Amino acid sequence: MLASFAQPYLQVYQCLHQHDVDRCVNMIARLFNAPLKDGEQAVGAGTVGSSEAIMLAGLSFKHKWQNKRKAEGKPYDKPNIVTGANVQVCWEKFARYFEVELKDVKLREDYYVMDPEKAVEMVDENTICVCAILGSTYNGEFEDVKRLNELLEEKNKETGLVFSFDRLKIGNEALTIG
């Protein structure tokens, strides 16, 4: 074990498997209809676990949103994410560590997943993503991602907010990227 301390994990990982990671990233990008031009390669990262993936995805959402807001000359200091109260604790940590407001949809008795209508009510121009759970830790129930997407598209038409409705899956978390 002591002999392995001198060998950085990432260096070994990149040397042995980077091609496989790149291939997987591109397969997933095409599966989820990423807006790639012909011959263009997707950019992504492999992670050891879902918490690390959530942190990286959250930072990507935040930076994309900030860059867009800066280009529009709008304030970019108050990003938020919308989740159900049943999300993995890592989302709360992400919000705290990276200064993002967490708007959580409270659960109610006999309904242990995020209510899509209430979630969409919380979305505003500072929302960087909406997180839905595919297999809640409370009861295994899937959140209604299809209904959530329909409501977000309606809100987009009504308010002029511009959301792209790409999907990303990290462990059992499904993200609608704004």
Q: Grade residue 5 by pLDDT with cuts at 50, 70 and 90.
A: very low
Give the percent of the chain with pLDDT over 90. Answer: 34
In the chain the first and final C-alpha atoms are separated, in Å, by 44
Q: What was the pLDDT predicted at 118? A: 96
Name the residue ranges covered by the structural domains of the chain.
Answer: 1-46, 49-177
Q: What was the pLDDT predicted at 37? A: 86
Is the distance from CB of 169 to CB of 143 less than 8 angstroms?
no
Q: Are strands 127-133 and 173-177 parallel, antiparallel or unpaired?
A: antiparallel
Sheet holding 166-170, edge to edge: 101-105, 80-84, 127-133, 173-177, 166-170
Q: Which pTM value belongs to this model?
A: 0.75
List the helix and strand counts (H, then E) for the chain. Answer: 5, 5
* DSSP summary character for residue 62: H
Average pLDDT over residues 79-95: 92
Alpha-carbon gap, residue 33 to 139, rounded angstroms: 30
Average pLDDT, the chain: 80
Q: What was the pLDDT predicted at 105? A: 95
Q: What was the pLDDT predicted at 47? A: 73
Q: What is the pLDDT of residues 10-55, one digit of tens each?
A: 554 555 656 677 778 888 888 877 788 888 888 777 677 788 888 9
Architecture of domain 49-177: 3-Layer(aba) Sandwich (3.40)
Is the distance from CB of 81 to CB of 127 less than 8 angstroms?
yes
